[in-house]
Amino acid sequence: MRMVIMGPPGAGKGTQAKFVCESLSIPHISTGEIFRANVKAGTPLGVEASKYMHKGEYVPDSVTNAMVADRLAEADAADGFLLDGYPRTLEQVGELDRILTGLGTSLDCAVEITADAEAIIARLLNRATLEGRADDTEEVIRRRMEVYALETEPLVAVYGDKGILIQVDGMGSVEEVTGRILSALNA
């Protein structure tokens, strides 16, 4: 299974990706997590990414695309993967297609997790108290949601047109949402 998981900030992408990957035995590739690990380690990639992330803006495609191309070429991604948080722009959609074509393969499905705006703000503010992420302040969360609506929401229609879109309601408990995703994938 080669899949992407999409949805607004706080919809549950990272949360659900972990369970789906465990269930399907595929690697979980989260661009957000790769960026955060680099920020923490103080690498040049992290220094560049943090300029954008703490304001709620997207890291430039030139940086993100190269990072994903390298990661997808690793051996553990050869038979399947779940990309979490990538693609986020139309340019990234084109780049992902080019990367996969170069690897002699293509995407099987794109899962969109939908969620109510106010509920996801509450989830992220709750995460802020638990994890202290720099981009989980209310002002930055609202900016991330604006950027999502502008740059990423149009991708849903692109994957719909390709005939590989699965839409899943992200409201309810974590277990309920995982159940919905796995039954949609099985169907």
Binding site for ligand B4P (CB under 6 A): 9-15, 30-32, 35, 52-53, 56, 58-59, 64, 85-86, 88, 92, 123-124, 127, 135, 144, 173-174, 177
Contact 117, 145 (CB under 8 A): yes
Q: Is 144 a catalytic residue?
A: yes
Q: Which of 31, 35, 34, 26 is nearest to 3 (CA)?
A: 26
Q: Measured from the CB of residue 67, what is the shortest distance to ligand B4P in angstroms?
A: 9
- From 32, 38, 63, 15, select the one nearest 135 (Cα to Cα): 32
As to burial, measured by CB atoms within 10 angstroms (0-12 exposed, 13-18 middle, 19+ buried), residue 162 is middle
Residue type, 72: L
Q: Which is nearer to ligand B4P, 97 or 104 (CB)?
A: 97
Q: By C-beta, is 52 or 103 nearer to ligand B4P? A: 52
Could you say which of 127, 142, 143, 162 is catalytic? 127
Using alpha carbons only, what angle is made at residue 47 by residues 45 and 49, rounded to the nearest 5 degrees? 65
Which among 71, 88, 123, 180 is annotated as catalytic? Answer: 88
Q: Least distance in Å: CB of 107 to ligand B4P? A: 15
Three-class DSSP category at 101 = helix
Task: Give the residue with the Cβ less far from ligand B4P, 46 or 104.
Answer: 46
Helices 13-24 and 174-186 cross at an angle (nearest 10°) of 50
Q: Which is nearer to ligand B4P, 104 or 130 (CB)?
A: 130
Closest separation in Å from C-beta 169 to ligand B4P: 10
CB of residue 119 to ligand B4P, shortest distance in Å: 8
Query: Among this protein's residues, is 88 annotated catalytic?
Result: yes
- Of 133, 142, 143, 162, catalytic: 133
Position closest to ligand B4P via CB: 32
Q: What is the dihedral of CA 27, 153, 92, 162, to 10 degrees?
A: 80
Active site residues: 13, 88, 127, 133, 144
